[in-house]
Amino acid sequence: MPFLHGFRRIIFEYQPLVDAILGALGIQDPERQEPLDSEESRLHVLGELLEKKAHSPFYQEGVSNALLKMAELGLTQAAAVLLRSGANLNFEDPVTYYTALHIAVLRNQPDMVELLVRHGADINRRDRIHESSPLDLASEEPERLPCLQRLLELGADVNAADKHGKTALLHALASSDGVQVHNTDNIRLLLEGGADVKATTKDGDTVFTCIIFLLGETVGGDKEEAQMINRFCFQVTQLLLAHGADPSECPAHESLTHICLKSFKLHFQLLRFLLESGAAYNCSLHGASCWSGFHIIFERLCSHPGCAEDESHADLLRKAETALDLMVTNSRRLQLPANFDIHPVGSLADKIQALHHSLRQLELRPPSLKHLCRVHIRLHLQPWPVDTKVKALPLPDRLKWFLLSEHSGG
């Protein structure tokens, strides 16, 4: 019946052989696999069946489809028998178009992954529907970490990208929601395996796109979930910066530093970590002419309609002072943006104006030896947490106080 295809071809052509193979192994329901009793004898029965059916029509399709079932169940010995008996490693599931290697990853069967690769399966093969490689699939779920590790050990290309420019690292980041899916270990393993932190999709998504999106999800949401998301974003940002990622690049909407500066009160801890880890407070590609942390913070201060009794405004001012001090201590020579003028209003306008004036004076005067020493020591103690390292120094308390970032806010 040569006109049959898809499901009907399975049913009328090679499904009977697949059923016979499963029956020989004692598998009645592939979705509910029971431990094989007397596996050696079952494999012997399987061998006899394959020898008997070797010349039947659609033999290779049958054993190849059965290999997909073995990959799903993790039955490596049965899979080895099928491979020796002619199963095709490139055979695709007629519904999902996944190969046995893709299915082994999806079902988290690392030993099956190794068996298939060592028998010649293309470790970087992409499926025809989603363009996903086995490494992409392994990166998307924390439960698949064993398969991810095995694929990297077997030589999978960690920086291979699909037609959209999406690498396994970007898959791992995009699949994380910070609440139910925490791909932190997958991301760490990919980075340790050489994943490129500068990878960018054709749509312009970077390694920070997912983090920026998740930070936006914390606004006005459930408090407990927001804490979980913030914790996840902090951990992943630590990993990315440790492997050379630049959070201050253009464009601004893809810059994690820019986003944290815009909402420095909400994302203060993450901003502090970025600055203490050496992140540029201006655009790292084009400087202050593109965007400047000083301008962003004062713009936020001047736009807050606070009063003297407003605790939220006072807290905003304290955090702004600390953030500004961190930026100052990142610079041997301060560079403020051009046209750096402000027009604060409200009861705290004088304090904001005084803060602005002090920065102007610091920019105009040659840097003092005291300032240069403070900058040099703090830069030497990077990365984060700098203040914790300062407190551990064998120095007088007064000198430690001078080196700490909090003292300016006091």
CA atoms of 410 and 407, how far apart (whole Å):
5
> For 240-299, what is each residue's pLDDT tens digit?
999 999 999 988 889 999 999 999 999 999 999 999 998 999 999 988 889 999 999 998
pLDDT score of 371: 83
* Secondary structure of 133-195 as H, E, C letters: CHHHHHHCCHHHHHHHHHHHHCCCCCCCCCCCCCCHHHHHHHCCCCCCCCCHHHHHHHHHCCC
* Amino acid 9: pLDDT: 57
pLDDT of residue 3: 45
Residue 229 has a pLDDT of 94
Q: Residue 37's pLDDT is what?
A: 54
The closest alpha carbon to 101, from 148, 68, 128, 145, belongs to: 68
**Residue 137: exposure state from Cβ atoms within 10 A (0-12, 13-18, ≥19):** buried
Alpha carbons 346 and 338: distance in angstroms, whole number: 25
Residue 51 — φ and ψ, nearest 5°?
-65, -40
Cα separation, 147 vs 103, whole angstroms: 11
Reported as a single tens digit per residue, the pLDDT across 348-379 is 788 889 988 888 888 888 888 888 888 899 88
Residue 11, pLDDT score:
56
pLDDT of res. 33: 53
Three-state DSSP class for residue 291: strand
Architecture of domain 1-122: Alpha Horseshoe (1.25)
Instruction: Kindly tell me if the per-residue pLDDT of 31 is higher than 70.
Output: no
DSSP designation for 240: H
Looking at residue 290, the DSSP 8-state letter turns out to be E
Domain parsing of the chain, residue ranges: 1-122, 367-410
CATH of domain 367-410: 1.10.750
pLDDT digits (tens, 9 = 90+) for 173-187: 999 998 898 899 999
Arithmetic mean of pLDDT over the chain: 87
pLDDT at residue 410, as a whole number: 34
357: tokens are: 């004036």
Higher pLDDT, 123 or 317: 123
Give me the pLDDT at residue 408, please. 45
In sequence order, what are the beta bridge partners of 292? Answer: 282
Nearest Cα to 102, choosing from 84, 89, 83? Answer: 89
